[in-house]
């Protein structure tokens, strides 16, 4: 078994079908004998794909990894609707979809790029009146849900198998946090004038990590048993790579690692950024263009890495010491 003190970083797992995200976390906890493990975005049991786990101090990055866009490959069955919006549910409607053409599909997909509104499905973890929607759905209840705005960054047709007894289409999508792909499948069907349900789903990217970055649970078990899992972990800044990078000198980094504001380099733009000092990752900082400073949000480096003495220096600038 691994020494828990050695483990700190991001473990990219290829989640198999039939496992919940919590199951995966529990399995890795058992293999590593660690409690501080969190995942960066829930996957339903039937969905396979990229599930980033944060271990040790890297768990402090979970909330920021969850905010990043995710990518999926989905398959939609046309001509059938279910109560769960996927093929695991009870069929509620069928219709002939043989008239759907490839051109119709391409036109429909084009309507779902950019910012769109989605109504959360009844079989979801959204809470209304203190209860999860899926709890109400299992009781046969349907309640009114408020539409939510999500962003579809890209939506591309992968294939279209039309005209047969079970017409289906496949698409790749990059979307914002909170997007329900099942609902997107249903809405695409609605745009085509036919019922639809999600047939399968694979998460192909999360936190910038793809299948090539992932390990199977079997491989993770082997590495944990041999003491090699620490070398398989990715540095936390790798998973945060979609946030812009800002570099500063050693003196500014030493102050930043102490949680102090520092002057913002001219190259920086507003928003959350990854701060580096002499090539070493310091943490996540908020670039405040109005005040011209970088404000600490989450520091990952230790003071020892940049020297404690420099961090105590002061300047005449009350907003920043840099």
Instruction: Find the CATH number of the domain harbouring 293.
Output: 2.30.130.10
Calpha distance 298→281 (Å, rounded): 11
pLDDT at 309: 42
Same domain, 223 and 170: no
Q: Nearest-CA neighbor of 255 among 185, 190, 319, 198?
A: 319
The catalytic position among 44, 73, 187, 213 is: 44
Least confident of 38-42, 117-121, 258-262: 117-121
Residue 44 is a catalytic residue: yes
Same domain, 123 and 223: no
Three-state SS string over the chain comes to: CCCHHHCCEEEEEEECCCCCHHHHHHHHHHHHCCCCEEECCCCCCCCEEEEEEEEHHHHHHHHHHCCCCEEEEEEEEECEEECCCECCCCEEEECCCCCCCHHHHHHHHHCCCEEEEECCCCCCCCEECCEEHHHHHHCCCCCCCCCEEEEEEEEEEEEEECCCCCCEEEEEEEECCCCCHHHHHHHHHHHHCCCEEEEEEEEEEECCECHHHCECHHHHHHHHHHCCHHHHCECHHHHCCCCCEEEECHHHHHHHCCCCCEECCCCCCCEEEEEEECCEEEEEEEEECCCCEEEEEEECCCHHHHCCCHHHCCCCCCCCCC
Residue 63's pLDDT band, with cuts at 50, 70 and 90, is very high
The 10 Å Cβ neighbour count of residue 288 is 17
Give me the half-sphere count of Cα atoms (radius 13 Å) on the Cβ side of residue 269. Answer: 3
**Model pLDDT, residue 222:** 98
pLDDT confidence of residue 119: 85
pLDDT computed for residue 4 by the predictor: 46
Single out the residue in 198, 226, 251 at which a domain terminates: 198
CATH code, 44: 3.30.2350.10
Both 249 and 174 in one domain: the answer is: no
Residue 98 lies in a domain: yes
pLDDT at 314 over 50: no
Across all residues in the chain, what is the average pLDDT? Answer: 90
Q: Do 34 and 17 belong together in one domain?
A: yes
| pLDDT for the residue 135 | 81
Q: Summarize the confidence of residues 163-179 as an average pLDDT.
A: 96
Q: Is the pLDDT confidence value at 308 over 90?
A: no
- Residues paired with residue 295 on neighbouring β-strands, in sequence order: 286
**83 with 185, same domain?**
yes
Sign of the alpha-carbon dihedral angle for 252, 294, 7, 34: positive
Per-residue pLDDT for 318 more than 70? no
Q: What is the mean pLDDT of residues 145-170?
A: 95
> Does pLDDT of 313 surpass 70?
no
Q: Could you tell me which residue, 126 or 118, shows the higher pLDDT?
A: 118
pLDDT tens digits, 124-147: 777 877 788 878 778 787 888 888
Same domain, 12 and 98: no
**Per the structure block, which two tokens stand in for 197?**
């349900």
Range of the domain at 232: 4-68+207-238
The answer to whether residue 319 scores a pLDDT higher than 50 is no
pTM here?
0.88
Could you tell me if 94 and 157 lie in one domain?
Answer: yes
Specify if 320 maps to a domain.
Answer: no
Tell me the mean pLDDT in the region 180-185: 96
- Rounded to an integer, the average pLDDT of 248-277 is 88
307 or 178: which leads in pLDDT: 178
In a domain, 322, yes or no: no
Q: Which residue has the higher pLDDT, 279 or 307?
A: 279
Per-residue confidence (pLDDT) for residue 90, from 0 to 100? 94
State pLDDT tens for residues 14-54. 999 999 999 999 999 999 999 999 999 899 999 999 999 99
Q: Which of 46-55, 66-75, 249-258, 296-305 has the lowest mean pLDDT?
A: 296-305
Residues 131 and 222 in one domain: no
- The rounded distance, in Å, linking the Cα atoms of 50 and 216 is 10
Instruction: Determine the average pLDDT of the residues in 215-224.
Output: 98
- CB count within 10 Å of CB 116 equals 18
Same domain, 63 and 211: yes
Asked whether residue 138 is assigned to any structural domain, the reply reads yes
The residue-averaged pLDDT of 181-205 equals 98
Quote the distance between the C-alpha of residue 60 and its chain's center: 15
Q: Does 319 fall in a domain?
A: no
Smallest CA-to-CA distance from 298 within 35, 54, 12 is with: 54
**Cα gap 1→318, rounded to integer Å:** 50
Q: CA-CA distances (angstroms) from residue 46 to 13, 49, 78?
A: 15, 10, 19
Q: 20 and 126 in one domain?
A: no
Q: 88 pLDDT exceeds 50?
A: yes
Predicted confidence band at 304 (pLDDT cuts at 50, 70, 90)? confident
Same-domain pairing of 63 and 74? no
Residue 251 lies in a domain: yes
Co-location of 165 and 102 in the same domain:
yes
What is the count of structural domains for the chain? 3
């Amino acid at each position: 078994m691994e020494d828990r003190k050695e483990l700190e970083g991001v473990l990219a797992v290829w989640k198999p079908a039939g496992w919940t995200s919590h199951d995966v976390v529990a399995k890795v906890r058992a293999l590593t004998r660690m409690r501080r493990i969190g995942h960066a975005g829930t996957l339903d049991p039937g969905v396979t794909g990229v599930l980033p786990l944060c271990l040790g101090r890297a768990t402090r990055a979970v909330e920021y990894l969850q905010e990043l866009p995710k990518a999926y490959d989905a398959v939609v069955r046309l001509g059938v609707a279910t109560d769960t919006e996927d093929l695991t549910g009870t069929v509620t409607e069928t219709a002939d979809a043989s008239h759907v053409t490839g051109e119709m599909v391409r036109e429909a997909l084009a309507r779902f790029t950019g910012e769109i509104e989605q109504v959360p499905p009844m079989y979801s973890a959204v809470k209304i009146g203190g209860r999860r929607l899926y709890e109400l759905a299992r009781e046969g209840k349907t309640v009114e849900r408020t539409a939510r705005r999500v962003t579809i960054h890209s939506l591309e047709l992968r294939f279209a198998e039309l005209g047969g007894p079970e017409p289906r289409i496949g698409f790749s999508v990059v979307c914002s946090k909170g997007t329900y792909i099942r609902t997107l499948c249903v809405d695409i069907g609605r745009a085509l004038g036919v019922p639809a349900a999600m047939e399968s789903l694979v998460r192909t990217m999360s936190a910038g990590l793809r299948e090539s970055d992932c390990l199977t649970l079997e491989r993770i078990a082997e590495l944990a048993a041999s003491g090699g899992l620490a070398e398989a972990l990715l540095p936390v800044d790798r998973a945060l790579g979609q946030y812009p990078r800002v570099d500063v000198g050693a003196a500014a980094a030493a102050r930043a690692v102490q949680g102090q504001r520092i002057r913002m380099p001219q190259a920086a733009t507003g928003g959350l950024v990854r701060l580096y000092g002499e090539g070493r990752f310091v943490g996540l900082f908020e670039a405040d263009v109005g005040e011209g400073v970088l404000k600490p949000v989450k520091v990952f480096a230790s003071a020892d890495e940049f020297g404690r003495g420099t961090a105590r220096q002061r300047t005449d600038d009350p907003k920043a010491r840099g």
